[in-house]
Structure 1
Amino acid sequence: MSTDATTPREPVLAISSRTVVFGAVGAALYAVLGLFSFLIPGTQSVTVRPAFALVPFFGKRFGVIAGFFVGLVGNAIIDLISGYGLQYWNWSVANGLVGAVAGLIFAYLPPIANEAVRLVVTALGALVATAIGLFFVITDIWVQGIGFNTFFTVNYVPALIADGIAVVILTPALDAIWEPLSKRTGR
């Protein structure tokens, strides 16, 4: 049976040196790789940011706090480098919530021995975490003064589709790469 690293070894909201280090490494990776995105052909500005898959991955593998930190800080740095400043702070919080929700989801799932099933569950869990976490951008209604329909059709759904594509494909891939390493280290 697999010793899937999602099994909680400490309290869910514990902060340790491991959490801090992996959170910082994840935020730095997300900030650098998050600058690379591509437009989905045939859409009107729906871009996929493949690095977004790092957010639920770090939430799954390193916990709620690390996942939140990766999403929040990584997205804030991307916005700063891109020239947006902290104008869209609520999107950074939403990215952080994706990592935190992923950490919560995977902390309470039992270990899965079958690798194919584990990867499917990882994809579904990352997608659910993305849908829940990104819903925080409903605050655009107050922050930007837009209506609910605009929030839903222009902000939320395109972001969910684009980020959903990234997490369903890449989060299980990252997890498949990490699993043998975690078994070797006992983490």
Structure 2
Amino acid sequence: MNADATTPREPVLAISSRTVVFGAVGAALYAVLGLFSFLIPGTQAVAVRPAFALVPFFGKRFGVIAGFFTGLVGNMIIDLLTGSGLTYWNWSIANGLVGAIAGLIFAYMPPIANEAVRLIVTALGALLATALGLLFVITDIWVQGIDFNTFLTLNYGPALLSNAIAVVILTPALDALWEPLSKRTGR
């Protein structure tokens, strides 16, 4: 039995000091580690960012609000530090939605006792959250004046592919590392 099975669940949209602290820690980690990324050639500023795996991880482990804050604020800080400013505000919202959707997916999922199954479900849940949350960047059609084909082939597709690789591998790895700590603290 894992720690998820014994931990009483808070309301899905509860805001507590724990939520605020973990959201801020997640945003800071994502902002700093997110600076270590590289652009995919031939795309419109789509970067492979392994730190993106932190977004669904924080959503899963610390809830909808912490996941949203991690993705939104972390991505905004990355954009500010790299000189993009708030030009790509819709991508920051999309990152936040990934964390929030991951939080929702795992909030309503029953506890899983088997370690291997839990890690596979974590990878699939993080992938689904990424695919759904990044759909918000369809707003590039209006924000940047691009057509649907450009959105699909140069923005959404490459971003989904690069982030999918990160979340399928690294989110379960982070969760596996966090699980023993979670059991010790009862969270």
Residue ranges of structure 2 left out of the alignment (5+ in a row): none
- Separation in 2 of the partners of 1:10 and 1:99? 17
Distance 2:59 2:100 in 1: 6
Deviation, 1:38, is: 3.6
Aligned to 1:120: 120
Q: Provide the aligned C-alpha RMSD in A.
A: 1.5
Bigger drift between 71-80 and 7-16 goes to 7-16
**Conserved in 2, the CA contact under 8 Å of 1:7 and 1:107?**
no
In the alignment, the residues of structure 2 paired with residue 166 and residue 6 of structure 1 have an alpha-carbon distance, to the nearest angstrom, of 29
Residue in structure 2 matched with residue 77 of structure 1 by the alignment: 77
Q: Is the 8 A contact 1:4 1:179 kept in 2?
A: no
1:11, CA displacement in angstroms?
0.4
Partner SS state of residue 87, structure 1: coil
TM-score by length of 2: 0.95
Q: What's 2:174 paired with?
A: 174
Higher deviation after alignment, 1-10 or 131-140: 1-10
After superposing on structure 2, the runs of 4+ consecutive aligned residues of structure 1 that deviate more than 2 Å are 3-8, 43-47
CA distance in 2, matches of 1:5, 1:32: 33
Residue matched to 1:129: 129
Q: Which runs of 5+ in 1 are unaligned?
A: none
Q: Is the 8 A contact 1:12 1:64 kept in 2?
A: yes
Aligned to 1:99: 99
Aligned residues of 1:5 and 1:61 also touching (Cα < 8 A): no
1:118-152 Cα offsets, whole Å, 9 max, x none, are 00000000000000000000000010111111101
- 5-14 vs 55-64, greater mean Cα deviation: 5-14
Paired residue secondary structure (1:4) = helix
The secondary structure found in structure 2 opposite 1:84 is coil
Question: How far did 1:3 drift?
Answer: 2.4
Alpha-carbon distance in structure 1 between the residues aligned to 2:85 and 2:5 = 36
Shift of 1:91: 0.1
TM-score between both structures, scaled by the size of structure 1:
0.95
Measure the CA separation in 1 of the matches of 2:3 and 2:26: 23
Q: Distance in 2 between matches of 1:64 and 1:6?
A: 20
Does the aligned pair in 1 maintain the 2:3–2:179 contact within 8 Å? Answer: no
Cα distance between partner residues in 2 of 1:31 and 1:5: 31
**8 A contact 1:5–1:182 mirrored in 2:** no
Deviation at 1:7, TM superposition (A): 6.0
**SS of residue paired to 1:75:** helix
Percent identity over the alignment?
Answer: 85
C-alpha separation between the residues in 2 aligned to 1:105 and 1:87?
30
Which amino acid in structure 2 is aligned with residue 126 of structure 1? A
Partner of 1:29: 29
Instruction: Count how many residue pairs are aligned between Structure 1 and Structure 2.
Output: 185
Supply the distance in 1 between the matched residues of 2:121 and 2:6 (Cα, whole angstroms). 12
Contact 1:101-1:133 at 8 Å conserved across structures: yes
The answer as to whether partners of 1:106 and 1:125 remain within 8 angstroms in 2 is yes
